[in-house]
């Protein structure tokens, strides 16, 4: 059994993750293989080879904003 996305997020809190998705519920990744991780999104994207042949998800493992910050859309 592959690690769940939630397990990967806990193991690499505060980092960007590149995961090859092995199981999903519609468009929500549930399990996968960790391909790479980095605190810097740009560095991660430079190393990860995105392909249409694999279902790869890139996401941040942590809160979207630090406590005390706000976003305006």
Cα–Cα distances in angstroms (integers) from residue 53 to residues 35, 56, 67, in the given order = 15, 9, 38
Please give the model's pTM, rounded to 2 decimal places. 0.82
- Sorted by where each begins, the domain ranges of the chain are 5-60
The stretches of the chain forming alpha helices (DSSP H) are: 5-11, 41-47
Q: How many CB atoms lie within 10 A of CB 48?
A: 19
DSSP β-ladder status, 16-25 and 56-60? antiparallel
| pLDDT tens column, 18-54 | 999 999 998 899 999 999 999 999 999 999 988 777 8
Buried (b) or exposed (e) across 18-38, using 16+ Cβ within 10 A? Answer: bbbbeeeeeeebebbebbebb
Q: Answer yes or no: is pLDDT of 67 > 90.
A: no
């Amino acid at each position: 059994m592959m690690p769940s996305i939630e397990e990967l997020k806990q193991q690499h809190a505060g980092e960007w993750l590149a995961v090859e998705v092995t199981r999903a519920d519609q468009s929500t990744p549930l399990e996968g293989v960790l391909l790479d991780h980095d605190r810097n999104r740009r560095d991660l994207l430079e190393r990860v080879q995105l392909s249409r042949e694999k279902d790869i998800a890139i996401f941040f493992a942590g809160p979207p904003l630090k406590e005390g910050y706000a976003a305006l859309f």
